[in-house]
Amino acid sequence: MIVRTSQIRYKGNDRLDITVKSGNKAFAPTWDMVRGVKSGTMSQSVYAVAYINMLNKSYIFNKVEWDKLLSMDQVTLVCYCPSNTFCHRILLAKYLVDKFGADYVGEVSVK
């Protein structure tokens, strides 16, 4: 599997919205996590650990969604965060690399 990341405006056929607002809940962080990191009450390292723990549980309880994702030849994970900032789409991309042998090829620019 080839994994890329991009901002929400990306419209390719391989797009997977992983936002808490409008995306696939199997891969989205919680509102508390989003608000915490944005407000500075949750550090990036605590957020990252919480998100990885959430993904581990999601893999068990959302098997259908994970099977769909893992069957894709290529996926572009999208959310609202600006490029080149701390973001869960990068955490998920690295998770897919580490756990499932995916190949993360980087961020796709959108205009």
**Average of per-residue pLDDT across 93-105:** 98
CA geometry: angle 37, 40, 41, nearest 5 deg: 90
Q: How far apart, in whole angstroms, are the C-alpha atoms of residue 1 and residue 46?
A: 28
Domain count within the chain: 1
12 lies in which domain range? 2-107
Q: What is the mean pLDDT of residues 58-82?
A: 97
Looking at residue 22, its pLDDT comes to 94
How many other CB atoms are there within 10 angstroms of residue 109's CB atom?
Answer: 9
| pTM of the predicted structure, to 2 decimals | 0.95
Give the three-state DSSP class for 49. helix
